[in-house]
Chains A and B, each alone.
Chain A
Amino acid sequence: MKIVVCVKQVPDTKGGVQFNPDGTLNRGAMLAIMNPDDKAGLEAALRLKDEYGAEVTVLTMGLPKATDVLREALAMGADKGILVTDRVLGGADTWATSSTIAAALKKLDYDLIITGRQAIDGDTAQVGPQISEHLDIPVISYAQDIKIDGDSVVVERQFEDRYHVLKAKMPCLITALSELNEPRYMTPGGIFDAVDAEITTWGRADLTELDDANIGLAGSPTKIAKASDKVRKGAGEVVTLDPEESVAYIMGKLTEKHII
């Protein structure tokens, strides 16, 4: 079985957020980690590898610095790492991102593709399902449990108040939730090997099944018009009311702020 896990390097929420003048994130200036949902997806792939035997390839699109997450994945037990990087691919929205990643996946053999549910920076949860559309394969999102049954996968898909058990023939795509599992740690020896391991790097020229109209900032149907930091909360106010009135007051405030 061949599994490809798509991972993204995202800013560590512990560090500050930096923007470029065009409204996109200045990724080079921020602390970076492997996106938590993707890490769960990778752990799911490694468990399938432990249980059924599989070759796990990890794919990412990003700055050259994104090789860090590939090396982390290798140190956890993945077999191969592929970095898709090119200046012309920068500033992509979900359409351009999924078009590019799908073009890279077309160069690979796969039975299963695993992505995270969503990345903690963009928070769209669009790229996984869009990749499956580009590749014309089924998608099961929000996976909380994955099993293999012959040439099919059986997946529990999380809903707000229940879960569905879905079965799909491979090849297919699954988007994983960070609640799915607890990702394993790297090992010290795994790190030493991963740092010396060769990472395959593909640029625009390597992605033959990709249309220039669908890449980068220019190929993105959506553009970020403006980005700003959250407005800071002002100082609290002290109100003296009797208990009855205070309930009404608090409910009123919560409604006014669209919290309830």
Chain B
Amino acid sequence: MDFALDKKHEMARTLFREFAENEVKPFAQETDETEVFPRAIVDKMAKYGFLGIPVPKEYGGQGCDPLTYAMCVEELAKVCGTTAVIVSAHTSLCIDPIMTYGTEEQKKKYVPDLASGKKLGAFGLTEPGAGTDAQGQQTKAVLDGDEWVLNGSKCFITNGKEADVYIIIAVTGVVEKRGRKQKEISAFIVEKGTPGFTFGTKEKKMGIRGSSTYELIFTDCRIPKENILGAKGKGFGIAMHTLDGGRIGIAAQALGIAEGALDRTVEYVKERKQFGRSIAQFQNTQFQLAEMATSVEAAQLLVYKAAKAKETQKVYSVEAAKAKLFAAQVAMDVTTKAVQLHGGYGYIREYEVERMMRDAKITEIYEGTSEVQRMVISGNLLK
């Protein structure tokens, strides 16, 4: 077992760190304050290949591995949770299912533009009545001649309205399974601009405020027959597999947020003086920092292990669930402690730790709540 990063990953980390520090950090506070999608940063990330890191070169990607991609999300999240989730939703939730389940035609048509960042991707599964209970889908797709006709809506869609290509999960019929009637669920590729596909409310969120979270509305939206992704009726499996990968991205985001908050706090406690000495000299501060650093490193090992599992294993659901569950808990815990160690200043928006604390909370909720991760992990233990 080797815990040291090899040359490739070491150099990639340097690249992501420099990019995050120089190009993303200066705008992170403004992005949060204005809630405006950071398009200029996304364009710059596209130019340097950040939007197609694990995609093979023949599909216009960078030909790197899941660990490199996770490290990119981690380093971006250290300075800006918003930028990190834009990359993660695009790569894990849109490109990955097309690469995994798409036909050669679909891959050739959609992946090169997505991997080069010419187009942005999103994933529509959640509905007002179908969150954790993802089977409760109401959006319908009916085949009419050579076209599928979509009707229904999706909510809380990351990269919504900004994205060009959407993976949409919808009900295509009813099937009998062991004598019980069940919804048959399928996956589709839907392009922005298709008549009948519009956007509803933009969500006003507590954190990751520059990330564009929209409602999607389908009203007799007609898409070509060949835009079904994978076989008819395989949509639920596609969605679950996609989320396994996505959870590694969110775990990396949570890890980065925790690392960023720890970094800011270490700087702050060395400078801030009370009772005639820096607050770093108080044992309470030291012990808090030790706890924070230890849990951050434990989270990092779980995240990297899950990324490695995605590279080498066919099924990595449990590794991804553990990484997301733990990293999100660590993010919440570390950012809360970071605000506390900053004292009153930590509660002021000028100091970045309050933004990080707000950003951290969502990592316990989206792409499967922490409770869903516990269901996945215990389900595997008790099977």
Contacts and interface: CB of A to CB of B under 8 A. Distances in A.
Interface of A: 71-72, 75, 184-192, 194-195
A188 B15 contact: yes
Nearest to B53: A188
Contacts of B19: 185
A189 B69 CA distance: 11
Nearest to A193: B63
A185 B15 contact: yes
A178 to B, nearest CB: 15
A187 B53 CA distance: 9
Interface stretch (B6-14, B30-38, B262-270): B6-14
Nearest to A189: B62
Contact of B61 (A189, A190, A195): A189
21 contacts: A71-B7, A72-B11, A75-B15, A185-B19, A185-B48, A186-B15, A186-B48, A187-B62, A188-B15, A188-B53, A188-B72, A190-B49, A191-B11, A191-B12, A191-B15, A192-B8, A192-B62, A192-B63, A192-B64, A194-B11, A195-B8
A185 B47 CA distance: 10
A182 to B, nearest CB: 9
B12 A188 contact: yes
B118 to A, nearest CB: 16
Contacts of B63: 189, 192
Given A186-B11, A186-B48, A189-B49, 8 more contacts: A71-B7, A184-B48, A185-B19, A187-B49, A187-B62, A192-B62, A192-B64, A195-B11
- State which size class the interface on B falls in: 10 to 19
B18 A75 contact: no
Given A195-B7, A195-B8, A189 B64 contact: yes
A68 to B, nearest CB: 8
Contacts of A185: 15, 18-19, 48
Contact of A191 (B8, B18, B50, B57): B8
A181 to B, nearest CB: 15
A189 B62 CA distance: 4
Nearest to B71: A188
B73 to A, nearest CB: 12
Contacts of A188: 12, 15, 48-50, 53, 62, 64, 68, 72
Contacts of B68: 188, 192
B11 A71 contact: yes
Nearest to A33: B14
B15 to A, nearest CB: 5
Nearest to B68: A188
A34 to B, nearest CB: 11
Nearest to A67: B7
Contacts of A195: 6-8, 11
Nearest to A184: B48
Contacts of B62: 187-189, 192
Nearest to A186: B15
A190 B12 CA distance: 10
Interface in B1-46: 6-8, 11-12, 15, 18-19
A195 B8 CA distance: 6
A191 B69 CA distance: 13
Interface string B133-145: 0000000000000
Contacts of B18: 185
A75 B61 CA distance: 15
A187 B8 contact: no
Contacts of A187: 15, 48-49, 62
Contacts of A194: 11
Contacts of A72: 11
* Residue picked from A71, A75, A189, A190, most chain B C-beta under 10 Å: A189
B87 to A, nearest CB: 12
B11 to A, nearest CB: 5
